[in-house]
Amino acid sequence: MRTLFLFLAISMSASLIAQTTETLSIGSKAPATDLKMADISGNSYALNDIKKEKGLLVIFSCNGCPFVVGSEGSEGWEGRYEELRSLAATNGIGMALINSNEAKRDKGDDLNSMKTRAKEHGFEKCAYLFDENSAVANAFFARTTPHVYLFDSSLKLVYKGAIDDNVDDSKKVKEPYLKEAIKNLAAGKKIKPEETKPVGCSIKRVG
């Protein structure tokens, strides 16, 4: 009986590891692009609706993670969203923020709270989409808030990972990974690095 229990425990652990290490590879097509999601504007959009001529930027975000909203001694990345949206738009790239924290809808990640946060913190021009049941996050294998995915005009993944190398202070950023990726994508140049480690809180799924 003990041997069977150990076998089941090891098998379950292996399954969990496989789920958490699965990823969307560079060059992969963007998944779930036709799935409509409610937006803070009152409309509903799919990622295909937001894509522009040169591509699409997707950032999984939320209303409470300190890596997004900041904490004592740290700005968080949220204050850089509007600048990223503007840069992306200037370069013909659409941008969507997605809130997939299904397990925290009653703790600040509901749609009304998303509307309020975007308005109060200056990124209300961004599409901020409500991902019901974390369906889009699951399709992307998204892990963290934030988690960045940049796609080209054919919706092939060209960069994924972190926004930059300094969540605490935007003025001390030495490696603006996402900004450089956006500029290089628009200019038809090679993106380097294509992948960085996403840093943030885990997406709060149900089940």
Question: For residue 81, what pLDDT band results from cuts at 50, 70 and 90?
Answer: very high
Q: Is residue 6 part of a domain?
A: no
Q: Mean pLDDT of all residues in the chain?
A: 91
Range of the domain at 56: 27-202
**Angle in degrees, CA 36, 30, 41, rounded to 5:** 30
Q: What pLDDT, on a 0 to 100 scale, did the predictor assign at position 207?
A: 79
Q: How far apart are CA 100 and CA 136, in angstroms?
A: 8
CATH number at residue 144: 3.40.30.10
Tokens of 67: 């890596």
Distances (CA, A) of 116 to 52, 104, 137: 26, 16, 22
Q: Is residue 8 part of a domain?
A: no
In the chain, the number of structural domains is 1
Q: How far apart are CA 205 and CA 137, in angstroms?
A: 9
Q: Is residue 120 part of a domain?
A: yes
Q: Is residue 181 part of a domain?
A: yes
Q: Is residue 140 part of a domain?
A: yes
How confident is the model over 101-116, as a mean pLDDT? 98
Above 50 in pLDDT, residue 16? no
Q: How far apart are CA 27 and CA 155, in angstroms?
A: 9
